[in-house]
Amino acid sequence: MLEGARERRVRTGGVELCVAELGEPGRPTVVLVHGYPDSKEVWSEVAARLAGRFRFHVVLYDVRGHGRSTAPEPLRGGFTLEKLTDDFLAVADAVSPDRPVHLVGHDWGSVQSWEFVTVARARGRVASFTSMSGPSLDHFGHWINERVSKPSPRRIGQLFGQGARSWYVYLLHTPALPELAWRGPLGRRWPGVLRRLERIPDGDYPTSSLPSDAANGAWLYRDNVRERLRRPRADARTTVPVQLITPSGDAYLSERLYDELERWAPRLTRRTLPAKHWLPRTRPDQVSTWIADFVTSVESAREGRAGTAEASRSETASPYAQRFGGQLVLITGAGSGIGRATALAFAGAGARVIAVDRDAKSATRTAEAALSAGATQAWAETVDVSDEPAMEKLAARIHGELGVVDVLVNNAGIGLSGPFLDTTSDDWRRVLDVNLWGVIHGCRLFGRQMAERGQGGHIVNVASAAAFQPVRALPAYGTSKAAVLMLSECLRAELAGQDIGVTAICPGVVNTGITTTATFVGVGPEEEKRRRKRAARAYGLRNYPPKKVARAVLRAVVRNEAVVAVTPEAKAARALSRFAPGVLRALARIEPRL
């Protein structure tokens, strides 16, 4: 699974560790430490991305007793954190003798890595640490003691909640039972169980050494957990820059475990990802991007450079940085107006932004502005959302090069005004092709990728207050937006079971450029030009800024809201449509002044 890797054996403490390397040795070294009951193969996709796209020197090793590393004899006492620290230092000295390494740990790989960054003898050997789904046992011990010594209803609830999540720890302390289970039916069924629980793709979980790895690894718990939780070290503090990636759907570890982590790791960057426990397998694209950003920012600081967008984001402290940092967000119609403002809002939260627009120059300007606003990465794509083959090619290329989109914002739209009887079939096709079919193409193509990945996501469809507010001058435009609203409601119901949220955003009068490009049917060119200017002036006087709509978009994704009316007039129309529709119908009969 680790194609192109160079292997070596490192002897330490009576065991022989299997170490694999990818990438150029002269580049910054990233050491990946696996958890229980995995081997180094669990990192294969993350390692390939870090060594390929990001050009790091990547090192993986099988923890003693796992994979192709030998086990200590006897097993009891052979997996203490002190001996695991010896192993790490031996690997680090072998692969990067002259420079500190960037450490990444998942599950028990993170638990032992916390030891590496807090003990004196490893000082200076770690440049940064990225922790996923594995707390320090010392921090955990203090967390428990504080809740026992100073109880409150909230703290007691947290204590019992984590106790319930830790059910497997109690089982692993029982004599002989875990070994019998892993070497028996559990070992055979575990990959299938894990695929169903974590939504890992079929055939994408290494199994060759699983029974013996899991049986040996039970001593990780027996040799360390009770002793450290009972007597945690008082000096378990680190000055190493730490990045904490917390999956919000972790079934084994509560997010509350990390509430006071800044006390132990003052140079802390937090990330939250809507995923389950096995992040290296289920979200390798997101994980590798966050690791690369963090390592690059630390390297920049070490070398005295100004740093990257990651460093600047820690200064600006967007309220949504933990939620969207590093996520892949695609916005259509991003060249101007609401689309551009939304792209910049996600950029300010540290997202990777794909700005899509049919105008290449506008898309490029938005992508450049997104990088300045704090985006991890930004790309400009030129496509007409009504062109189905072009959208299919775009979706396939993005999936192949960047991964699955985490948030899709179908914003592209055009305006059309005038009486129904003056609206031609071509007029109807044009507005429906962009306003409705463009949304359908985006939902179908990118929504399917989200569903197949199995790790959730969010779709935002920008409708309008015209979706529920009839206006005699907007029959075609209102119809297209009402269809978008209903599509969003239906799709939300269909995808809810797959953790994919769908939101319809319904702005009212927002100061964008849509009025200057809108079509006014039934009038000549000069009158159409006059009406555009008049509409633009009215929208300008209203002066509701697109950035307020953008903030509503981010808030709606975080809260997973179904329908969001943004402006005051949109909120009023939404309320009237539900409780006094007759009032809206009466208002719709009023002929607008043009």
Q: Which of 61, 320, 477, 544 is catalytic?
A: 477
Query: How far is residue 382's CA from residue 365's CA, in Å, rounded to a whole number?
Result: 12
Query: How far is residue 247's CA from residue 347's CA, in Å, rounded to a whole number?
Result: 21
What does 383-447 look like in DSSP terms, one character per residue?
--TT-HHHHHHHHHHHHHHT---SEEEE-----EES-GGG--HHHHHHHHIIIIIHHHHHHHHHH
Over its C-alpha atoms, the chain yields an Rg (Å, rounded) of 27
Asked about 539 being catalytic, the answer comes back as no
Contact present, 119 and 80 (Cβ < 8 Å): no
| β partners of residue 101 | 126
- Residue 304 Rama label (left phi>0; alpha psi -120 to 50; beta): left
Strands 328-332 vs 352-357: parallel, antiparallel or unpaired:
parallel
Tokens of 88: 């790490």
Burial (0-12, 13-18, 19+ Cβ within 10 Å), 267? middle
Place of tokens 């029982």: 174
Cis amide linkage into residue 74, ω under 30° from 0: yes
Neighbours of 234 (CB within 10 A): 8
Strands 15-22 vs 6-12: parallel, antiparallel or unpaired:
antiparallel
Longest dimension (CA), the chain: 91
Place of tokens 């560790």: 17
Q: What's the distance, CA 209 to chain centroid?
A: 31
Catalytic residues: 477
